[in-house]
Amino acid sequence: MSPAATIPLEDFIKELEDLAQSAIEEFGAVADSEQLEAARIEFVGARKGKFKTVQKKLGSIDGPDKKAAGMKLNDVKKSIEKALNESVERISGGGNEKVRDAKFDPTLPGPQQRVGKLHPITQTIEELKDIMGRLGFTPADGPEIEDDWHNFKALNISDSHPARDPLDNFYLSLASSREKHVLGDNDLLMRTQTSTVQIRVMETTQPPIRIISLGRVYRPDTADSTHYPMFHQMEGLMIDELVTLADLKTVLKLFATSYLGNEVPIRIRPSFFPFTEPSVEADYFWNGKWVEFGGAGIVDPSVLTAVGYDPEQVSGFAFGLGVERLCMIRHQITDIRYLFTNDVRFLRQF
């Protein structure tokens, strides 16, 4: 066997250095991913790449020089890989507008933009206003921080009434109260019902009146699947000559049928509220069972007197419905707390 021709170490090193230099130049110059791929195959292709070709010559280096040649080979390999990686980074990572434009495909669907939505309670409120608007009821507003007169006294809730219990109310101060359960005239609380707005409207408006009031109310309840210390009510009030329980029932029936989109049976059961006489609880029949919608009744004459009306001349009905309950029924929401934890995964569904 004739000894293989040997290659001088200096020639081998020179060849490697030239290779490294041209590879670095070329990787530095590529302008798009196609050119990059061509350069990659040219220099580091697994079978015919230029680096591979030079590497094969290592076998032809004289024994004593082999170690130095191998080290040089490794250095060059590293610098070529580095140039390749930088080039990949540059082409794929943006920063080079021309490259990005070249890759832009106008036929692809655009990125999906998420559009914000109204909260389900806000959506429900808008819908309730719409339905009641068609029945001739216009929205009215009142403050969430109320005084004794509007939350209790004008609504015929006496000083000793259990509804005034501090355990059932968020009082904001008791400083001037004469008794534990009685607010002084200047003491305030978070309103516990939207019936306060009935008083505010009647104090400033002469009949006929047809209003609804939608807003937050506050009660110190422990949160569970059906209770929350803050919730929303829709109050309705109609005052005119000769308004009767039949009018109330008709409005509730029209409302239930519009909201639930079906011919919905309703029923009223006797109940008690200090500000209505007679008082009722109203239920509608939905998905095979009676569901309570809220309280209602004929406005008590003493309430009409409190706001300066003559109960001999006018009468009216009032009702107060829970907005969360209506929203939950519609969307089959099983826990009221979902409505207030503001988890976007929940909210996105509406």
Residue 68 neighbours by CB under 8 Å, 6+ apart: 9
Interface stretch with ligand PHE, choices 85-93, 171-179, 244-252, 293-301 (CB under 6 A): 293-301
The correct pick among 296, 304, 323, 333 for binding ligand PHE (CB under 6 A) is 296
Alpha-carbon distance of 50 to 56, in angstroms, equals: 10
The correct pick among 73, 83, 91, 318 for binding ligand PHE (CB under 6 A) is 318
Alpha-carbon distance of 254 to 81, in angstroms, equals: 77
Alpha-carbon distance of 239 to 206, in angstroms, equals: 9
Residue bearing tokens 């355990």: 167
Q: Which of residues 200-239 bind ligand PHE (CB under 6 A)?
A: 235
Q: How many Cβ atoms are within 10 Å of 171's Cβ, its own excluded? A: 16
Tokens representing residue 11 in the block = 């020639």
Interface stretch with ligand PHE, choices 32-40, 221-229, 252-260, 317-325 (CB under 6 A): 317-325
Burial class (CB in 10 A: 0-12, 13-18, 19+), 191: buried
Q: What are residue 97's phi and psi, to 5 degrees?
A: -55, -40
The correct pick among 266, 309, 319, 324 for binding ligand PHE (CB under 6 A) is 319
Shortest Å distance, C-beta 240 to ligand PHE = 16
The site string for ligand PHE over 320-349 (x = CB under 6 A, - otherwise) reads: x-----------------------------
The correct pick among 87, 151, 213, 276 for binding ligand PHE (CB under 6 A) is 276
The site string for ligand PHE over 175-194 (x = CB under 6 A, - otherwise) reads: ------------------x-
Residue 246's SS3 state is helix
Task: Please tell me the count of residues contacting ligand PHE according to CB under 6 A.
Answer: 12
Residue 49 or 229 with smaller CB distance to ligand PHE: 229
Residue 215 or 297 with smaller CB distance to ligand PHE: 297
Alpha-carbon distance of 283 to 125, in angstroms, equals: 20
- Enter the DSSP assignment of 313: T
156 binds ligand PHE (CB under 6 A): no
196 binds ligand PHE (CB under 6 A): no
Shortest Å distance, C-beta 193 to ligand PHE = 4
Alpha-carbon distance of 194 to 214, in angstroms, equals: 7
Q: How far is CA 231 from CA 108, 199, 207, 284, 331, in A?
A: 46, 20, 29, 21, 17
297 binds ligand PHE (CB under 6 A): yes
316 binds ligand PHE (CB under 6 A): no
Q: Which residues bind ligand PHE (CB under 6 A)?
A: 193, 195, 235, 273, 276, 294-297, 318-320
